[in-house]
Amino acid sequence: MTRLSSGTAWYRFGLPAVYVIWYGRRLSEVWLDGDVLEVKGPGGSFRVPLADVLLLDTGRSGRGSRVFVLGLDHPVGQIREVRFFPAKTTESNLQARIHAARAARKD
């Protein structure tokens, strides 16, 4: 299993209270297990196939750190998006894996 998210503890405890509330309540820890994402976040833990994920945004939130936003084709409970701070070299690998999984699903 490959960890895609960087640790969130520093962001939750090392930033001013406003950022802690904004980011800390919305961030998840994300791992890649084959072609499945394993997510542990504010809404609980769940697994979702890469074919059901869309990389929506890889930008910065204001002046803060880079935040990845993944959209889910099928919501898990009330969760429609997953946000996380990416580990190094996550972006290109994740985009390629999601694209391949979604293309294979359509065949």
Q: Which pLDDT belongs to residue 12?
A: 47
Overall pTM > 0.85: no
Q: Please, what are the domains in the chain?
A: 2-106 (2.30.29)
- Average pLDDT (77-95) is 82
Per the CB < 8 A criterion, the answer to whether 74 and 55 are in contact is no
Q: Which has the closest alpha carbon to 83: 52, 49, 40, 46? A: 40
pLDDT in tens, 37-75: 999 987 789 999 999 999 888 776 666 677 888 999 999
Share of the chain above pLDDT 90, in %: 29
Lowest mean pLDDT among 24-28, 53-57, 60-64, 88-92: 60-64
Type of residue at 70: L
pLDDT of residue 20 exceeding 50? no
Q: In what order do the strands lie in the sheet with 2-3?
A: 2-3, 29-33, 36-41, 44-49
